[in-house]
Structure 1
């Protein structure tokens, strides 16, 4: 089952029904200090939804997933020896990085595109998506965080990608670092990235926690007193496996260098 889920998370749009486990765990026994999460890893829509009434081209767009994010996250997991929990189902079915009680956890329109398969949902259908996708994903994240905390100090990092143009406006950032109340990890990351003069680094750009994008990190990290940070990379910089490898290596190298907040051991 994990093999088929992994294939879906790589961008497949065919296959069977939603599996009992919507969380893919890579390197679950990783001994590093970080837990990595990638909520928008996949554009897979189970067949019972009829592609939610969308075209194959729509399902390749950012509305369905974060292109390139999973590739970066897997490189980081390898380099940091970190567990990675990613979601095997498109955010258009339900967005696992939203509180399931909010209106746009199952969105009716995204970036100007109406999602026909999400219209007029019954309470039972909403509950089914929460039970089949949201809850198993978050159970996977919770288990990874609990295991890491049992072993020692830990931090949680989310990996995402964003469109270079949104609503006709060019976004100048190559990478954005998002954080909420705790800046203990984000501050050193921003400083390290800005050492590369060629990079335009966003601070709580192109999104911020005020946009309700910090749900997973708040639930499993910040609310538990763990350092947390979200990394957003512009997706035109992640179009090839080589680019994803380069960004994964760059970010892993920085995280190795700065270490966890409060860790003064030699790097």
Structure 2
């Protein structure tokens, strides 16, 4: 419940293969969830799934502000700075968020191996979903196990949507990426899909910016 198991190694491997910039959080989402708006009730979660978090009970405004300054603000400032510098250089830019989810949540089994989360902008999500559905034996969730209505889309809403950038959120079931072999498998599969999506003109200077929040979703 404190981080997204397996997601960071996948994101690292993808970023290296795609020559993309990776932004990762370094503080547990139980301290503060960087993929939530500041007014979200689970920004500093009092309960994660069914587990009470005693250290988050009764925080003062000063303590809350200290957590924002420690992790939330630097994460979003860094993303904004990287994106603005890319756009100033005229680089084609996409924002992709990599996460993992538990096979069982609040007693409910989750059958999807991978989920693609998107809002009404499907420029990146639609070809991702189509490519994943062509893989034998892979069950693909579309806005499953989460959707933007669950407040999990905040990072993309904040940084990609106002700038008109294609974006998508990728959720991989964490038993699929619990070990190095699974992490390598999914990173390479996703990397291949993204390379196929790149226009020829962009191949010389890989265009994706990958944002990884270890604090985003269960």
| Structure 1 residue aligned with 2:50 | 112
Q: Where do residues 152-231 of structure 1 align in structure 2 (5 Å cutoff)? A: 152-231=91-170
| Structure 1 residue aligned with 2:70 | 132
Question: Measured at CA, do residues 139 and 64 of structure 1 come closer, stay the same or move farther in structure 2, by a change above 3 Å?
Answer: same
Normalised to the residue count of structure 1, the TM-score between the two structures is 0.73
**Structure 2 gap ranges (5+):** 204-218
Q: Given that residues 92 and 202 in structure 2 are in contact (C-alpha distance below 8 angstroms), is that contact kept between their aligned partners in structure 1? A: no
Question: Measured at CA, do residues 200 and 103 of structure 1 come closer, stay the same or move farther in structure 2, by a change above 3 Å?
Answer: same
Q: Where do residues 59-78 of structure 1 align in structure 2 (5 Å cutoff)? A: 63-78=1-16
Shift of 1:207: 0.1
Between the aligned partners of 2:162 and 2:80, the Cα distance in structure 1 is: 12
Between the aligned partners of 1:171 and 1:128, the Cα distance in structure 2 is: 36
Question: Measured at CA, do residues 79 and 266 of structure 1 come closer, stay the same or move farther in structure 2, by a change above 3 Å?
Answer: closer
Between the aligned partners of 2:134 and 2:5, the Cα distance in structure 1 is: 26
| Structure 2 residue aligned with 1:121 | 59
| Structure 2 residue aligned with 1:95 | 33
Secondary structure of the residue aligned to 1:133 is helix
Given candidates 243, 258, 267, the residue that maps to 2:182 is 243
Question: Measured at CA, do residues 266 and 230 of structure 1 come closer, stay the same or move farther in structure 2, by a change above 3 Å?
Answer: closer
Secondary structure of the residue aligned to 2:175 is helix
Shift of 1:266: 9.3
Between the aligned partners of 1:233 and 1:149, the Cα distance in structure 2 is: 29
**Structure 1 gap ranges (5+):** 1-62
Between the aligned partners of 2:202 and 2:40, the Cα distance in structure 1 is: 44
Normalised to the residue count of structure 2, the TM-score between the two structures is 0.89
Q: Given that residues 10 and 183 in structure 2 are in contact (C-alpha distance below 8 angstroms), is that contact kept between their aligned partners in structure 1? A: yes
| Structure 1 residue aligned with 2:207 | none
Question: Measured at CA, do residues 266 and 94 of structure 1 come closer, stay the same or move farther in structure 2, by a change above 3 Å?
Answer: closer
Shift of 1:133: 1.1
Shift of 1:223: 1.8
RMSD: 1.3
The answer as to 2:88 corresponding to 1:150 is yes
